[in-house]
């Protein structure tokens, strides 16, 4: 009889321990999920700062960590597009990898311009976490008569040629962009418009959706797949669509009446 009671006591203790474990899991799991989501949120801020000193304008491209976590696999891309008084364009692209500690602000790039060189400069800064776009900033700088003025700009308001803006989020999106860029360079066509490559999560699936946008019009759209051949074929087809659009656009402009 004593053995039976002891066995029953052990059974109750085991059941209580199981209840404690289940309760611990239920309580701690939301905290763990929250901690993961905190890092995936837009806690990193891209910032372009412009400072004038005498006849020089200093441009600082920064990344600011507003979260309580460290980031190890960050990278940035900086575009500087300059138009001189003769409406000639020049482009400069910089990129690199970096990390951010908790609450750290880091200068990614520094440029210096002479105010005497009159013109117009548009700057774009993109910051990515493992190829996922997490923040961006842009600014327009006008260098006029020993002074400068700056304002935020939208990419669609730029008028220049031969620029491809990459807004990819995943490695597959980045691989597509690389294929697209290589094919475009081989074709050696300087298109008189901006090509924007966007990527976003697709509804109801694990893969993403990539779109090619020109003049606010989606020219090509597809869902990514983990296949090099598939991504290359889509890059090839996207280039064909853009070329056809370019020819059609050119013919329409030639038919427009001049006054």
The three-point CA angle 213-218-223 to 5° equals 95
CA dist., res. 57 & res. 176, Å (int): 37
Residue 216 has what DSSP assignment?
T
pLDDT by position in tens, the chain (length 259):
444 444 444 444 555 555 455 444 444 444 333 333 344 446 899 999 888 777 788 889 999 999 889 998 898 888 888 777 776 667 788 888 999 999 899 999 998 877 666 677 888 888 888 767 788 888 887 754 444 555 555 544 444 456 788 888 889 999 999 999 888 888 878 788 888 898 988 776 678 999 999 888 899 999 999 999 999 999 999 999 999 999 998 888 777 665 4
Q: What is the DSSP letter of 156?
A: G
Extract long-range pairs of 165-168: CB within 8 Å, 24+ residues apart: 165/79, 165/124, 165/194, 165/195, 165/196, 165/197, 166/77, 166/126, 166/197, 167/126, 167/133, 167/196, 167/197, 167/198, 167/199, 168/131, 168/133, 168/197, 168/198, 168/199, 168/210
Q: Domain limits of the chain? A: 43-154, 161-259
Closest CA to 103 of 77, 66, 154, 71: 66
Q: φ, ψ for residue 177 (rounded to 5)?
A: -60, -45
Instruction: Select the CATH number that applies to the domain covering 161-259 from these four: 3.30.160, 2.60.120, 2.40.160, 1.20.140.
Output: 3.30.160
Q: Under DSSP, is residue 158 helix (H, G, I), strand (E, B) or coil?
A: coil
Q: Which CATH class is domain 43-154?
A: mainly beta
| Local structure of 84: helix, strand or coil | coil
pTM over 0.85: no
């Amino acid at each position: 009889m004593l053995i039976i009671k002891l066995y029953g006591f052990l059974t109750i203790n085991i059941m209580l321990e199981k209840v404690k474990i289940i309760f611990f899991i239920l309580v701690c799991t939301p905290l763990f999920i929250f901690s993961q989501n905190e890092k995936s949120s837009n806690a990193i801020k891209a910032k372009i700062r412009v400072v004038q000193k005498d006849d020089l304008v200093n441009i600082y491209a920064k990344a600011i960590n507003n979260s309580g976590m460290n980031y190890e696999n960050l990278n940035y891309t900086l575009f500087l597009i300059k138009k001189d008084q003769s409406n000639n364009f020049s482009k400069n692209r910089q990129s690199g990898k970096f990390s951010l500690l908790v609450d750290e602000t880091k200068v990614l790039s520094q440029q210096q311009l002479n105010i005497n060189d009159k013109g117009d400069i548009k700057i774009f800064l993109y910051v990515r976490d493992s190829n996922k776009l997490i923040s961006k900033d842009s600014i327009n700088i006008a260098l006029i008569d020993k002074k400068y003025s700056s304002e935020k700009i939208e990419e669609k308001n730029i008028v220049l040629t031969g620029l491809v803006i990459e807004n990819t989020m995943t490695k597959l999106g980045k691989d597509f962009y690389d294929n697209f860029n290589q094919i475009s360079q081989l074709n050696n066509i300087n298109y008189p418009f901006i090509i924007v490559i966007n990527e976003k999560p697709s509804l109801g699936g694990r893969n993403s959706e990539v779109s090619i946008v020109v003049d606010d019009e989606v020219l090509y759209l597809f869902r990514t797949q983990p296949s090099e051949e598939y991504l290359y074929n889509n890059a090839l087809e996207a280039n064909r669509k853009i070329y056809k659009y370019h020819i059609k656009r050119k013919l329409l402009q030639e038919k427009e009446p001049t006054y």
